[in-house]
Structure 1
Amino acid sequence: MTENNATPPESAATTGPESPDAPLHRRGIKSYVIRAGRMTPAQTRGLEDVWPRLGLSLEDGPQDLQALFGRRAPCVVEIGFGMGTSLIEQAKAHPDTDFIGIEVHAPGVGKLLDEADKHGLTNLRVYREDALRVLEECLPEGAIDTVQLFFPDPWPKKKHHKRRIVQPAFVELIRTRLAPNGVFHMATDWEAYAEWMAEVMEAAPGYENTADADTAPFVPRPSFRPLTKFEARGEKLGHGVWDLIYRRAD
């Protein structure tokens, strides 16, 4: 079970004939599907009232992060933030860091925006877009200090593995957006997907694993990653969670 509502188990992904040189978002495989869901009044308020201040779209084009936030500060990008609990906690705990969340699920985006407004957060911006397009078209190269991917859909069936977001081309795109020594932090509750992530990352050029030799390729759960209710519930049931943190090394 995963917490990321942007990538539910049922697939409506499409395939197509795009060449390997085409942008990632046009190669025909999607790692998510958009589900219809009921909107609470608070979520609707977030989308209608808070979005004009904190929302971003592809039409805004390439971003100048210093101009976007009105300051020069470390920047963290979280891909597929689900209902936004972890991202809100991080933005509250680290006011000197700027955060950009990317999610396609409307209730999650609405909830995050509503919570951000209630807490008066000014260090958070949100895309309701395909993460691949945001990375390719909007986020500057070499400017992101941390990219987070927490509990993406594992697509456990072998025939669906091509829909997993962690693929060689994707991690190379992440690398180009990371600042020197920037990190790519992943977490999953599926051991087989954790092993897949490690295999892809170990083969990817320009990265180094931050894990100690006694725990490699994984790192102990970092204290700075908020523990969600979902994860706490899983821990009580004996479910494992695997964290991987790789640093841009080139």
Structure 2
Amino acid sequence: MPEPVVTAPGPASSHRSVPVSFVRRSRRLSDGQQRLWDEQRPRYLVDVPRAAASTSVAPAFVLDLAAVPPGDGPVVVEIGSGQGDAVVTAASARPGTRFVAVEVYEPGLAHTARSAAAAGVDNLRLVQANAPEVLASALPEASVDEVWVFFPDPWRKARHTKRRLVDEAFLRLVARVLVDGGVLRFASDWEPYAEQVRDLLVAADGFVPHGETTPDGWAPRFEGRVLTGFERKGTAAGRVVHDLAYARTPRG
């Protein structure tokens, strides 16, 4: 099976060449939240050098995973960690695993750091950056055991679907960072998006279904994903959560 071709970000410029999967939000932290964030930021937030924009990643930057406590053991990267509910709960339950949460919104990062500190979690680091750039260059090749993408923005309007995070290029980047046998876990309560991602994974080089699946290709609910208020609201509104789990095939 041919190896996936990875396209890394181009030279730094004043504008990105492709649309991102998020829009900048201006909600400010309260004075109390800002004080706590200022206290906890040095402990949890990775200092990322920038390229084109405030959430970009300088192409030469490589994240030192050995600096994430405990310094060895499996690595789990959550893309779009939001308020940090899933990653903080998982890091607390798995102290021998290194967790990296990638998120662009500062209030979410501040909440994650506050929750981690309250839970006594140290095996977690936060990266404020555009996820595809992190996957393209900041993470070493074949360095991650699991990538989590839970409830990304579905961009429901037809004219906005090009902004969805998971597409063919994103999957190539995930394949780049996963170790052989490493797992991509995805969940969405927006069925058209979940179906799109399922079909992309079926067609993608470098991935095979992980574990048992339904005849339609869905995975069982991932037990390591904490039930959040967001998921409860979706279920209460009648939306069905679809899980996918795909493993990286051996290189070569």
Ranges of 4+ aligned residues in structure 1 off by more than 6 Å: none
TM-score, normalisation: structure 1 = 0.85
Q: How much does 1:162 deviate?
A: 1.2
Pairwise mapping of residues 121-136 of structure 1 onto structure 2 (< 5 A)?
121-136=121-136
Is residue 2:40 matched to residue 1:50? yes
1:41 Cα deviation after fit: 4.4
SS at match of 1:243: strand
Q: Secondary structure at the match of 2:208?
A: strand
* Alpha-carbon separation, structure 2, partners of 1:130 and 1:139: 13
Match of 1:188 in 2: 188
1:87 alignment partner in structure 2: 87
Equivalent residues of 2:72, 2:98 under 8 A apart = no
Percent of counterpart pairs with the same letter? 38
Given that 1:58 and 1:134 are in contact with CA atoms closer than 8 Å, whether structure 2 keeps it comes out as: no
Q: Residues 206-235 of structure 1: CA distance to partner in whole angstroms, max 9, x if unpaired?
A: 100125353441112122211112212333
Query: How many residue pairs are counted as aligned between the two chains?
Result: 231
Asked if structure 1 preserves the Cα contact closer than 8 Å seen for 2:191 and 2:242, the reply is: yes
Q: Which runs of 5+ in 1 are unaligned?
A: 1-19
Q: Pairwise CA RMSD of aligned residues?
A: 2.1
Distance 1:42 1:118 in 2: 15
User: Secondary structure of 1:69's match?
Assistant: coil
Show the 5 A alignment for 1:16-27: 23=9, 26-27=16-17
Native 8 Å contact 1:100 1:127 kept in 2: yes
Unmatched segments (≥5 aa) in structure 2:
1-5, 50-57
Question: Which digits, 9 at most, give the CA deviation of each residue in 1:12-65, with x for residues without a partner?
Answer: xxxxxxxx9662794321111110113134532343111112111322921231
Give CA-to-partner distance per residue, 1:174-215, whole Å, 9 cap, x none: 101001100111100100000010111111101001253534
Q: Give the match for residue 226 of structure 1.
A: 226
Query: Counterparts of 2:70 and 2:223 in 1: how far apart (Å)?
Result: 29
Alignment match, 1:76: 76
Residue 96 of structure 1 corresponds to: 96
Q: Distance between the aligned counterparts of 2:213 and 2:91, measured in 1?
A: 31
2:110 is equivalent to residue 110 of structure 1: yes
Q: Measure the CA separation in 1 of the matches of 2:32 and 2:79.
A: 22
Q: 1:110 to 1:211 in 2, by over 3 A?
A: same
The answer to whether the 8 Å contact 2:70/2:97 transfers is no
Q: CA deviation at 1:66?
A: 2.0
Residue 34 of structure 1 pairs with residue 20 of structure 2: no
